[in-house]
Amino acid sequence: MKYILLAIIPIILASCNNSGQKTIAAASDSTSAKKARVAIPSFNKDSAYSYVVAQLAFGPRVPGSQAHEKCAGYITGKLKSWCRDVIVQKCRMAAFNGKMLDGKNIIASWKPGLKNRIVLCSHWESRPWADHDPDPKLRRKPVDAANDGASGVGVLMEVARQFSLKEPSVGIDIVLFDLEDYGPPQDESRGDDKWWGLGSQYWAQNPHIQGYSARYGILLDMVGAPGATFLLEGLSQEYAADIQRKIWDAANRIGYSSYFLYEKGGMVTDDHVFIMKYMSIPVVDLIHLDKSTESGFYPYWHTTHDNLASIDASTLKAVGQTMLTVAYEEE
Ligand code: AHN
Ligand code: ZN
C-alpha cells in the first residue's frame, strides 16, 4: 500500500468506465479499415521465453555482481545481432545507502535519424533484496527477477528480433534500463521515490543522443506472470491517456481482453515517471497490478518466488503481440 495509491471512489470510476467503453467502440470502427492494411508479424512466445530463461541462467543480476556484468554482455550481444545501432550507456549512481553503483543502459535504435519515433523500455537488473518475501529469513536474499526484470526484456528482445526481419515505418528505440530496483528495503523506511529508477533518471537527464525526443513511450514492467492483469496505471492515465487507450484498444482488438482491463489502477513510481519529468515524453506503464494484494502489485513482487516458475509464455505473447501491433500500425 505504501507504493501505490489505490482508487477510492468506485462510483466515479464505474461511470468513467461506462462512458469510456462507447468511445472505444467508436474509435475502433473508424480506424479498422486503415489497420487492416498493415501486416503484423507474429510474435514468437517460445523465443521470448527462451530469452527469459537465458537471463535467469546467470543468476540474480544484482548490480556489482558477475551475473549482472555477464547478463549485460548477453543482452548487448543479442541486440547487436538484430540491430546496427546499439549503444551501451554507462552511468555511476549513488544508492540510498551511499554505495556507488555502476550501471549500463542498453539502447537499440532503428532509423536513428528519423524524428518520428517511439520508445519501448523495461529494466533488466535484479533487486538485491526480496524484502516482501513472506518468510522473514529470506528477505535479504536477492530476487531472481523473472517477472520483475527479465520478462519485459525477453519480450523486447523478441520484438527487436522481429524488427530485424521487418522494419516498422516509424523510428524505434528499445531502451533497457539498469538500476531500477535498488530502492531502499521496506524496513529501512527511507520512503523517497528518488532512489528508484536510477538508470532511467540518468538516461532521461543525459540522453544517448543530444536533444533526444520521441512521440511517446511504453514501459514494460512485470509482463510475464500467468493470468496477469494490466490495469490503467494512474500516472500514465493522467499524462498519457490517449496512448494508453491506443495500447489497450489494440490489445483488446487482437484478443487479449482478459489481460488488458479497462480498469483504473494505482499510481506507480516507475521509470516512466522520470522520462515524463525530464524529457516531457508521455510514457505508459504497462504493469501487472493487482488490487487484491497488499502491495498492489502481482503476488510474488519482491519475493524469492519471482522465479522462472512464475512465468507464462502466453502472457509474454499477449504483451509482445500488442507491442508489435502498436509499433507496425504507427505511421
Ligand atoms: C516503488 O516501489 C516506489 N516503485 C515500484 C517500481 C518497481 C519496482 N517496478 C518494479 N520494481
Ligand atoms: Zn521491482
List of long-range contacts for 17-20, beta carbons under 8 Å, 24+ apart:
17/262, 17/263, 17/264, 20/262
Burial pattern 204-236, b for ≥16 Cβ within 10 A else e, equals beebbeeebebebbbbbbbbbbeebbbbbbbbb
pLDDT band at 31 (very low <50, low <70, confident <90, very high): low
pLDDT tens for each residue of 205-257: 999 999 999 999 999 999 999 999 999 999 999 999 999 999 999 999 999 99
Q: Which secondary structure element, helix H or strand E, spans residue 38, and what is its range? A: none
Quote the number of domains for the chain.
Answer: 1
State the ligand closest to the CA atom of 274.
1
C-alpha cell recorded at residue 101 = 553503483
Question: How does strand 85-94 pair with strand 100-110?
Answer: antiparallel
Q: Give me ligand 2 centre to Cα 181, in Å.
A: 5
Task: Say if residues 142 and 126 touch (Cβ distance below 8 Å).
Answer: yes
Instruction: Give the Cα separation of 171 and 120 in Å (integer).
Output: 11
Q: What is the mean pLDDT of the chain?
A: 91
**Can you state the angle between helices 241-253 and 313-329, rounded to 10 degrees?**
120
- pLDDT number for residue 38: 87
Residue 154: CB partners within 8 Å, gap ≥ 6? 48, 49, 50, 51, 52, 55, 224, 316
DSSP calls for 135-165: SGGGTTSPP--IIIIIIHHHHHHHHHHHHHH
Q: Is 321 in the pocket of ligand 1 (CB under 6 A)?
A: no
Q: Is 181 in the pocket of ligand 1 (CB under 6 A)?
A: yes
Q: Is 192 in the pocket of ligand 1 (CB under 6 A)?
A: no
C-alpha cell recorded at residue 39 = 501486416
pTM of the model: 0.90
List of long-range contacts for 9-15, beta carbons under 8 Å, 24+ apart:
13/263, 13/264
Ligand 1 atom having least distance to the Cα of 271: 6
In the chain, the amino acid numbered 124 is W
List of long-range contacts for 110-114, beta carbons under 8 Å, 24+ apart:
110/83, 110/85, 110/163, 110/167, 110/168, 110/171, 110/172, 110/173, 111/167, 111/170, 111/171, 111/172, 112/85, 112/171, 112/209, 113/171, 114/170, 114/171
Q: Is 148 in the pocket of ligand 1 (CB under 6 A)?
A: yes
Q: How many CA atoms lie within 13 A of 293 on its CB side?
A: 20
Taking CA atoms only, the protein residue closest to ligand 1 atom 7 is 270
Dmax (CA) of the chain: 57
Q: Which residue(s) pair with 269 in the sheet?
A: none
Taking CA atoms only, the protein residue closest to ligand 1 atom 10 is 148
Q: What is the CATH number of the domain that holds 40?
A: 3.40.630.10
Q: Give me ligand 1 centre to Cα 123, in Å.
A: 11
Q: Give me ligand 1 centre to Cα 326, in Å.
A: 25
Residue 40: CB partners within 8 Å, gap ≥ 6? 321, 324, 325, 328, 329
Instruction: Give the Cα separation of 267 and 285 in Å (integer).
Output: 10
State the ligand closest to the CA atom of 295.
1
pLDDT tens for each residue of 187-210: 766 668 999 999 999 999 999 999
pLDDT at 1 over 70: no
Q: Name the residue range of residue 182's domain.
A: 3-329
pLDDT at 4 over 80: no
Q: Is 270 in the pocket of ligand 1 (CB under 6 A)?
A: yes
Task: Say if residues 120 and 172 touch (Cβ distance below 8 Å).
Answer: yes
pLDDT at 87 over 80: yes
C-alpha cell recorded at residue 329 = 500500425
Residue 65: CB partners within 8 Å, gap ≥ 6? 59
Q: Give me ligand 1 centre to Cα 119, in Å.
A: 20
What's the average model confidence in pLDDT over 152-177? 98
150-152-153 Cα angle (round to 5): 60
Q: φ, ψ for residue 137 (rounded to 5)?
A: -70, -20
Q: Which secondary structure element, helix H or strand E, spans residue 54, and what is its range? A: helix 45-56
pLDDT band at 186 (very low <50, low <70, confident <90, very high): confident
